[in-house]
Chain A
Amino acid sequence: MTDTMQMPRGFEDLAGLAAEWAGPSENARSEVRWNASAADFKAFYDAMMPRLPDVLAELGRTTLEEMDIARTNLFSLAAAFAEAAPHHELYGGSSEVPFSFSARRFVPGHGDACSWATDFR
């Protein structure tokens, strides 16, 4: 990932967050999440949560097939937030789910697939 990512018009301010968090696949995003601290989760949450309605509205206007690079980057950022938010809201900032099995031992069948693929499984 480069340190700035192209974003749709009106979402340029999220480019830095995307460079930090966005990944094209569940495995790529999990790697970022597993290395995040409580402060990282809080910063991500505080920056992203107020923008979430706009981000979801923007993504709601495009199908998975017709996303351009900027929207794909926004999608990957939103997917990262979708997966990271519970760590701030529910797990006390821990990168692990408290009192649980090691997430690293769960193998997602779709782990390396692009998260926007339409024949995704």
Chain B
Amino acid sequence: MNDLSDAAQRPGAEAFSHLGRSLEEIRSELGVDPVSVQSIRDPAVYELEREKIFKRTWLKVATDQELPEKGDYKVKELPVADASVLIVRGKDGKVRAFHNVCTHRGNKVVPTSGFETFGKSRANVLACRFHGWVFSTDGPLRSVPMESGFGKLDKACLGLREIACDSWEGFVFINFADPPEQSLAEYLGDFGKLFSGYPYNEATTAFRYSTVLECNWKVALYAFSEGYHVPTIHAGSLPGFRGIEHSDFKLIGPHASSTIYGLGMESAESTGQFAGVLHANPDQGPRPDLLPPGINPKRRPEFQFELPNIFPNFLIHLAAGCGYPGIAFFTHQFWPLDHGRTLWEGINYFRPARNAAERVAQFHINALHRNAWLEDTGTMEDTFTGIRSGAIDNMLLMDQEFMIRHADRSQHAYLAR
């Protein structure tokens, strides 16, 4: 099952065979012992995670397609780093990240509402509303009202405070460390190679959901990191989903990945019709040929999606329309707001509808998937309450929960640095 070093592989897959792990290898590398829930329960661990993980690793904060034109910006509130982050495409077309903090006295340059704020700067400048300092979208301070009243002001040193920012396959990442210990490419390492080459930027129809969960961020992350729960928690929304197999385990530095195989996604009669609409379009339909070569290397027809865990808080489920009809990929992200509160973001990405029927079909598939997410999120607050009660000290993890075991290890490695 987990053997990626076989002769019948797609060309190019051999470059990734060193990432694959058999069940025996997973067990011997990661162990089979129970894993302590202390790091979920203990607020002091959360304070360490903020400093040693979230302020030192590369964090996905935007996508290229959210900022298609010069002057487009997004502000992301990141309480985990006590930061409001402005991500903006400058006049030169480059995406940069800055603290959304006016260098005059600290007001937000872009006022925000909610966790994400989108906007456009038409003249490629952003003005602070407090006293009117004006910054260009690539950072420098442009103008200061009544500048002579300051006596002395070195405008050259008063640009927006930049945060390290880089992108990979259209996903924009930041790193609060100054400077980061590794480049984004080094940090993603073989994960970046394994997942590269898919036309992510063509899937521009995004259905985005978010909610605030009263649980530690790792409880939410872990619930989306394994396939063990699928036949039970999703019995309501995926009754025909059968032959579920979670395999092709891969360990990739602090990251990991695996594959969900299965059948029967289209069991309901209406779903069959909506899926038919999407599958009639070769762009929406299953496109296993677009999968990077290391993913589903044996071209198994039951491939549903690749299920990775990108340290510390990001998942890209790459499906290429093979699982939920029409879904190119979907992402999850888990942002701590506090030790016991988490902002979850789930986004379904489709290629644009050619006609109105395809858009309707996308709404159906999106609703099915959203409803499965409602089943997933339904466990999280109860799990956290249970862990906080002190009734259990350990999690017992089976093979399909290996990414939880691995994430716990990666976290400990970062906390120990």
> Which residues of A approach B to under 8 Å, CB–CB?
26, 49, 52-53, 56-64, 67, 71, 75, 78-79, 81-83, 85-86, 89-91, 97-103, 105-110, 115-116, 118, 120-121
**Residue contact B205 to A121, C-beta cutoff 8 Å:** yes
**Residue contact A82 to B356, C-beta cutoff 8 Å:** no
CA distance A71 to B355 in the complex (A): 12
**Residue contact B236 to A97, C-beta cutoff 8 Å:** yes
| B281: nearest chain-A partner, CB-CB | A60
> Which residues of B approach A to under 8 Å, CB–CB?
66, 116, 204-212, 233, 236-237, 239, 268-271, 273-274, 277, 352-361, 363-364, 367-368, 370-371, 373-378, 380
**Residue contact A82 to B355, C-beta cutoff 8 Å:** no
**Residue contact B357 to A57, C-beta cutoff 8 Å:** yes
Cβ-neighbour of A89 out of B205, B269, B358, B361 (below 8 A): B269
Cβ-neighbour of B356 out of A64, A81, A120 (below 8 A): A64
| A58: nearest chain-B partner, CB-CB | B357
| A30: nearest chain-B partner, CB-CB | B367
**Residue contact A59 to B378, C-beta cutoff 8 Å:** no
CA distance A71 to B377 in the complex (A): 36
Number of residue pairs A-B, CB distance < 8 angstroms: 136
**Residue contact B353 to A82, C-beta cutoff 8 Å:** no
**Residue contact B368 to A63, C-beta cutoff 8 Å:** no
**Residue contact B367 to A115, C-beta cutoff 8 Å:** no
Min CB–CB distance B62 → chain A (angstroms): 12
**Residue contact B237 to A86, C-beta cutoff 8 Å:** yes
Cβ-neighbour of A75 out of B360, B370, B380 (below 8 A): B360
**Residue contact A100 to B269, C-beta cutoff 8 Å:** no
Question: Beyond A85-B270, A110-B208, is A64–B355 a contact (Cβ under 8 Å)?
Answer: yes
> For residue A109, which residues in chain B have a CB less than 8 angstroms away from its CB?
116, 206-210
Cβ-neighbour of A78 out of B269, B354, B360 (below 8 A): B360
A-B contact pairs, 27 of them (CB 8 A): A52-B270, A52-B273, A56-B277, A59-B357, A64-B353, A79-B360, A82-B367, A83-B364, A85-B270, A85-B364, A86-B270, A89-B269, A89-B271, A90-B237, A90-B268, A97-B237, A97-B375, A100-B236, A101-B211, A101-B374, A106-B210, A107-B210, A109-B208, A115-B363, A116-B356, A120-B205, A121-B204
